[in-house]
A and B are shown apart, each in its own frame.
Chain A
Amino acid sequence: MTVKWLYYWQPSIGVTMSSQTLSIAIKRIEALHGVKTSRWQITASQFRPNQREPVPLVECARELLGVVFSEVPDKYYFALRQEHMVVEADATMQAIMEKLQVYRNRLTILFEGFQYELGDFHIKAGRAVLAHTENLRGIVLEVDYKPLSSVEQSRRVVQDFMEVWQKGETTGQFVPLDPNFSEFNLPDLYSWQHTALQYVTLMAFVFSQQRT
């Protein structure tokens, strides 16, 4: 599996983020003869422990994060950030968690848009919206350089590409999301578990942005 790099839109001071940003990004991709291939959707959720009584406080993770990818519908990924853990499970695990009722879904973010092929680059361009609303929380890009599966080599190529690609943009820029794979005991070989960690980190970032 090749490495995916996430970028989130940081508007310049005084500029408001809007869907227009996404349209501009897509136009830039298409101007370089990027070919639209498919839709994509990633659903990221935040869960909190379901305590019967407010006290005593249950000894458990205060936050559980979950991700499902439209490209991998038979799997569900969990992450516990404080505990530095990423768990991969069959999608039935969602049904099990619903039966157990130990954690309640508090918030869900949908990352959705279109995927483009731009030579050796596969780019997902889309927006982050709060589920069941049109509440736009972010504009995101996912860039995947297909010929390289090494994390470090791929990072350099993608960084160079992004620098060139968004040169001259004044309303803001796409900022890379720094992954923290080693803190989570993830293997060196990139996998969907790594991608899950990136998207839950992005979700947490998107939530934190809204508060400021």
Chain B
Amino acid sequence: MSRRLDMSLCISCTFCGIPGYRISLSIVLGVLDLVTQHVDALEVLLQGLCGGLRETIKVHEICLKTGPNLGAVASEVHLCCSLSQPEPVWSVRHVGGAMRGAGADQLPALVRPVLEAGISNNSLRFMYSLGYKLDYEMLRTGFSFQLHKTVPIAVTITISVTAVHRLPKIHAVDDPQPVTPGLQMVQVSAPASPDNYSEVVGAISGLAEYLAPLVHLSKPGVPAGIVPTASTAAAALVSRGGITKVL
């Protein structure tokens, strides 16, 4: 019997006041029961939907917080080290507070500003030198696909399926332990601008409908539950996709 967990659907919206930067919108999270067959089934479904290449995800995410007395207010920033290529690729990620108001409440998702920047591989020592301290870290592993839509708007949607692992020792990525064994996260995201984010929300919600046979996505704090017919749908997808598994 698969575990029920609160699922959350969250749209993150990247906003940057510097001209020329795009806003990135992202929707987060259904929880998928990790019977291996279901993950394989989702992969088959995404392969069919997106048609493109499967990208491997292996990201060491380090969450840093300011030490005492530093900054106008305490702040948090994430350093991400992608380990899926031969050379590690580092980036910095800042997630802001959720958008509020009547308009935001109407949306089927939460909107948050997210800023991301690539950075050289001495970034951890750099952030420590600026007064940041390690709060927690994790390893995310899995895969992603991209869907390029042109109707009703041109948008590239990224769907990722990942498991989150804790690290038993500081920065020890070779011995990760799953935080929620048997469960993975499904995350759907897309770039947008202040002018079109509601259309992008629509596009992402539309895509979520296609994933409904296997996973429900919903707004944070609203439990969506598992899909009762997921096992049946998964079996059908897997057999169609040519993967032979024992049920």
Contacts and interface: CB of A to CB of B under 8 A. Distances in A.
Interface of A: 49-53, 56, 58-61, 64, 78, 80, 83, 85, 87-96, 99-103, 193
A184 to B, nearest CB: 10
B73 interface: yes
Interface in B27-84: 66-73, 75, 77
7 contacts: A49-B130, A85-B126, A87-B119, A92-B21, A96-B92, A101-B71, A102-B132
A94 B20 CA distance: 13
Contacts of A99: 75, 94, 96, 115
Interface string B1-37: 0000000000000001110010000000000000000
A59 B131 contact: yes
7 residue pairs, one from A and one from B, having the closest CB atoms: A60-B131, A92-B117, A90-B117, A93-B117, A102-B71, A89-B119, A101-B72
Given A50-B71, A91-B117, A100-B77, 18 more contacts: A60-B67, A60-B70, A61-B131, A85-B122, A87-B123, A89-B92, A89-B117, A89-B119, A89-B120, A90-B118, A90-B119, A96-B77, A101-B71, A102-B66, A102-B70, A102-B71, A102-B131, A103-B130
Given A92-B16, A95-B21, A52 B69 contact: yes
Nearest to A60: B131
Contacts of A89: 92, 117-120, 123
Nearest to A82: B129
Contact of B71 (A64, A91, A100): A100
A61 B129 contact: yes
